[in-house]
Structure 1
Amino acid sequence: MTQDSFRSWRITTRNFIDYQRRKCPLWKSVGLYAWLTQDGTIRGVINLGSLASTEILASFSSRWPTVIEAIEPKELRAELYAIVHPSVISTGPGFGRRYQSMKLAIHPCRRDQLIAQSSGRSSPRYSCEPMPVLI
């Protein structure tokens, strides 16, 4: 994947997730953090929130080839380091010296905002930590 195609992929992916969030409220708890690697693939971590990995895989696989691998929370730091290591992240003209131009970060909607919008209250009713999954 080139820099231009990655830029286009970021926009398409953000629009896709925003559309899914409007269609199904469970998608509002999904977070995606991805980086372009030197071999032209995209690697990252996705917080599934309330969705099952099969739902995410079915949605993404219809547009892009996707592989999801579950990881334990204690392994998250090592997995992220392996993804964002300088020898793995894509470099080249136009990318600059920072990772911002070669990453995509879509944060989950804050739970207290979701509850305030749906019930008029501003305090969260429950807490559910998303399980990180590598994509």
Structure 2
Amino acid sequence: MRDPLHPLNPRSKKAQRDAVASLVEFLEGYPFIRKVEVSSCHSEVMRALLRAFSNHLCPQLEELCISQCSIDGLELVGLVKSRSKADGAEGCASPSDTRSLRRVGLACCPSISHYIVSILREYLAVEVEDEKAEVNLRG
């Protein structure tokens, strides 16, 4: 097992893969995590992280806060759907089930449009810090 406390500064593709592998490995050891905050992540690292969360890494994750990241809105919607009670996510049978994502916070994520935010809000609470300044107004 890699040292989970070793600083990660991904620049190359290999470093990005290693960083994601280290982070996923670390998070696998803490299945009771309920909140994850991600800030200033490279888009490839963020994409890999969203895929890992879609595959139910951190099964009790209730809140995901993303700031200053370029992320694909449709991938975020896919994650939310995969972790949503409304979509019949596996194991999310009752309203008290904590394995369902309940909230997404977004700050300084210009690649996320108002349209994507509106879709996300069909599934869970979404907080966008300073919506007018932070959300792409084009779509």
Q: Do the two structures share a fold, i.e. TM-score over 0.5?
A: no
Kindly indicate which of the two structures has a greater share of residues assigned to helix.
Answer: 1
TM-score, length basis structure 1: 0.28
Higher RCO, 1 vs 2 (CA within 8 Å, ≥6 residues apart): 1
